[in-house]
Amino acid sequence: MPTARETLLEAAHTAVGTQPWAGVRMVDVATAAGVSRQTLYNEFGTKEGLGAALVNRLVEGFVEGAVRAAAEGGRGGADPAASCAAAAAWMLRTARDEPIVRAALTGCWGTPMPLPPESVSAAVRPGEPGTLAATLCERMIDGLSQNGSSGKLGLACEAGVRIALSFVVAPSAGRRDEEAVGQIREVVRALLAQPR
């Protein structure tokens, strides 16, 4: 059974999906979650605290999903290009489907979403998408290197994540995600084939 905190975050996520963050009322979030307003304030303190927790939850879930996709897609690190391509596919799909993740990746926070205050993890503050990309690379490398992956994995992760981020920021007209992921896979393979 989900905790009150999880239920409240889910209710806030639903609310921000239907209206701008400025229009989300704490009383409505509490009612949707089936808890009292006092419980909501006890959990998060303020609306800004709720927004920060929501952003952190979604971005952390995004990073965990990308790391998992990288491990599964590259057979535990045996194929760094496939790992990066799988993480890129996750990144593109999630950024398209989740506006808060897209905002964290691009640094383009607007009124429809909670603008993360100082209490949000440094990796997701506005204007710091490079920090989020670096966090993603570090976690991918940590997850894959435990399985005996290539020494060039850092280069592959950095290139794959940065290219995927460019597709998030400036999507190609008419290009499907699969084409972008294929391009990322080929660039990473070419980089890995170069002598150090």
Long-range contacts made by residues 100-104, C-beta under 8 angstroms, separation at least 24?
Answer: 100/16, 100/54, 100/55, 100/58, 100/59, 101/58, 101/59, 101/62, 102/168, 104/55, 104/58, 104/59, 104/62, 104/129, 104/132
pLDDT at 74 over 70: yes
- Tens of pLDDT, residue by residue over 10-19, are 999 999 988 8
- Tens of pLDDT, residue by residue over 137-156, are 888 888 776 554 456 677 77
pLDDT at 189 over 80: yes
- Say what the pLDDT of residue 158 is: 83
Roughly how many angstroms between the first and final C-alpha of the chain, as a whole number?
Answer: 51
| Helices 177-193 and 153-169, packing angle to 10 deg | 150
Query: pTM (2 decimals)?
Result: 0.83
Give residues with Cβ within 8 angstroms of 138, minimum separation 6: none
pLDDT at 43 over 60: yes
pLDDT at 96 over 60: yes
Q: How large is the greatest C-alpha to C-alpha distance in the chain, in angstroms?
A: 62
Burial zone of 191 (CB within 10 Å; 0-12 exposed, 13-18 middle, 19+ buried): middle
Per-range mean pLDDT, top range of 146-150, 156-160, 183-187: 183-187
- Say what the pLDDT of residue 58 is: 92
Q: In the chain, which residue ranges form alpha helices assigned H by DSSP?
A: 4-18, 26-33, 37-44, 47-73, 80-97, 99-106, 129-145, 153-169, 177-193
**How far apart are alpha carbons 90 and 67 in whole angstroms?**
9
